[in-house]
Structure 1
Amino acid sequence: MTTVRVGWRFSADGRYAACLAAGEGDVLRPEVWDFTGPDPLVRPLASACDATTQISPLDGERALLCRNDDGRHRISLVTQSAETTLTAGRGPWMHLSGDLVTGDAIHRVTPHGLERLAALPPGASGPGIVLAPRLVGLTRPEAPGPVVLDLSDGSWELMPGAVTGARVLPGGLVGMPPGGPPQFRWRGRPVLGGLTGRVTALGGDGARIALRVERGSRSRLAVFTPSTGEVAEPAIPDGVLGSTAAFAGGIVRVPFSSPRAPGSVLSVRPDGVRLDPPARRLAGFPAA
């Protein structure tokens, strides 16, 4: 049976992942992945979800869920046996990123509900992009930006080269406003000008940024090192990459889908690649 997996999120260290999974004709349910052993452990969790549910992995085969519906939100902790509501209420759309939630302010999710950390800078909105343990990047759609918010004291400043309409992207890249030629900037300077194809930032670890490069119907993976300007394109199977990625030391992990490997995770290592679940044999397709 084919399993569909959507809404992928990785932990900041790339050791855990979570998604919403469903078999053919089934409802979406939370699923967590643990990459800390020699083979990944995949565990279904309690509760049913819809495609708008946001999920964030935790250790111990747990995850956070964030649901938004008609001006209301509910954030809960889900395990294999139960879902427990941590907080619920009315207000703006809530964006979940790790254990941080961005709405009318930035909060941390705790076992006792939400802990308010900092107000949003004027004109800023979620989702927030975690740039460092206490720094969050935010886009300001109608004002010069993006901005960097310091959660330790609530102070904020413009990112280098800020302009109205610029967006903060995973890994700390800045996407320039639409309407002109596609441009990315890193700390105010143009980057990635020589990379052909449609480029999407997927995630970073402070030193490297994983990129999805779409050329025709296929996705390629690129790893950008801002300090040197190097862009590496490791060899990967033909298929479509997801919209998020994470680094775990020398490994890059990204959701991957192809006719022979639907709903998989691609782990790219210095010595090769690994698919989990592995690619299957299909009639009319050559063996892997």
Structure 2
Amino acid sequence: MTVCGIEITTTAPFTIAADGSYAARLAGHGDARYPERWTLTGPEPYAVPLPLAQPEEADSEVLPLADGRVLIHRRVAERHAFALLYPTGGAAAGPRTGQLELGSIQPEGEGVRVTLLPPAPDGHGAFALAVGDAGATVWQVAGTPFGPEPVARIPGRCSGGVWLDRTGRLLALDRELHGVVKAVAVDLGRGGEVSPLLQIAEGSADRLLLADPDSGLLLIRSDAPGEQRLGWGVLGSARPVRFPECLRADGATATPFAVQPGQALMPETCGVALRLGDGALALWRPCDRHVFRLGAPVGWLGGTGLWSAQGRLHLPYATAEVPCGILGLTPPVAPPPPVRLEPVPAPAPRPVPLQQAPLR
């Protein structure tokens, strides 16, 4: 498919491990789909197919772990089954795929939707979100001794899922309760204790899109300014959320997918990669007053990428000529001298809610 002269890949989502070591996707077409693992460390990336005797359904989900195994989530009748896949066999035997069954989830009631959450920061555990009319349940589906187990129950319909720390304890979810959507923080270390995270205006819909634990930078979408806008704030800061005018044109459809890590105490200098509504790519920093639009690579996978601490954005792509490729980009201009914000406080057991933001 081509949009505005850019070829957009229509394959299943491409997921990168939290440490950037591996990635995974559901490759193939039609009725011949199979998991595929990418190794991103080393001089060049390479892909390893992980097929089994039967092809996978198109709605199966895959997620890479830091040890190279790939978690797969399958719908089996009314159950949701989970397993770990890994390459095995030698050169003489040919490539083989090993499978370790982890168990399944039997949702309570009808209409419950189960999806994998983003890769856990520790790289070893994996979590899923089950959402029904009665509420939501966070399940740990990998890294437990006895199979999937519930770790948090949250009233209201939840969506999204953003990790707020490097340990995998604090998870942000967008919760709809009494007709209002607000991002909340779920403390998995306290039995799923829920606390407010975004409270921009009383009746506004405030969603958290992305967070960087190093700097505390939060990327937010809210209608508090009177329309859907992209904004940014700092976790634990007393400053309000800001909605830059340069993001206004794309605020309703742009999706941030990567933040430059390693910028401790300087969230305004973090590079942010955006996938725009027309499929294009854009780069932006909170300290910038404009957005840099760039041409997306042909075959860009899932609109995803990984931003290194050195300031280079890595975009995965696959074409007939290059089935496993990574394109490296550097921001067009150097950032201006940073205007230092107040320091981010030491990590607390729970995130401190952001204060209310002015509409102007």
Q: 2-side partners of 1:68 and 1:213: how far apart?
A: 31
Query: Gaps (5+ residues) in structure 1?
Result: 273-288
Cα contact 1:138–1:149 (8 A) shared by 2: yes
Q: 1-side partners of 2:21 and 2:200: how far apart?
A: 34
Cα contact 2:31–2:57 (8 A) shared by 1: no
Q: Percent identity?
A: 24
| 1:243 and 2:303 are equivalent in the alignment | yes
Q: How many residues align?
A: 263
RMSD: 3.4
Q: 1:61 to 1:12 in 2, by over 3 A?
A: closer
Question: 1:30: how far off?
Answer: 0.4
Cα contact 1:125–1:140 (8 A) shared by 2: yes
Q: 1:135 to 1:82 in 2, by over 3 A?
A: same
For 1:37, the equivalent position in structure 2 comes to 42
Match of residue 100, structure 1, among 106, 110, 127: 127
* Match runs of 1:74-223 below 5 Å: 74-80=81-87, 81-91=97-107, 92-96=112-116, 97-98=118-119, 99-103=126-130, 104-108=136-140, 109-110=142-143, 112=145, 113-120=147-154, 122-133=155-166, 134-141=169-176, 142-153=179-190, 154-155=192-193, 156-161=195-200, 163-171=203-211, 172-177=218-223, 181-187=227-233, 188-195=240-247, 196-197=249-250, 198-204=253-259, 207-214=270-277, 219-222=280-283
Cα contact 2:272–2:285 (8 A) shared by 1: yes
Q: Which letter does structure 2 place at the counterpart of 1:116?
A: P
Q: 2-side partners of 1:270 and 1:9: how far apart?
A: 22
Classify the secondary structure of the residue corresponding to 1:194: helix
Q: Which runs of 4+ in 1 moved over 6 A?
A: 260-263
* Match runs of 1:15-54 below 5 Å: 15-22=21-28, 27-47=32-52, 48-54=55-61
Question: 1:63: how far off?
Answer: 0.5
Q: Please state which structure has a larger fraction of its residues in strand.
A: 1
Q: 2-side partners of 1:82 and 1:53: how far apart?
A: 17
Query: Gaps (5+ residues) in structure 2?
Result: 1-8, 88-96, 120-125, 131-135, 212-217, 234-239, 262-269, 333-360
Question: 1:18: how far off?
Answer: 0.6
Q: Which letter does structure 2 place at the counterpart of 1:79?
A: Y
Q: Which moved more, 1:262-271 or 1:169-178?
A: 262-271
Q: Which letter does structure 2 place at the counterpart of 1:194?
A: C
Q: 1:212 to 1:271 in 2, by over 3 A?
A: closer
**TM-score, with structure 1 as normaliser:** 0.75
Classify the secondary structure of the residue corresponding to 1:132: coil
Higher relative contact order (CA 8 A, sep 6+): 2
Match of residue 314, structure 2, among 233, 253, 258: 253
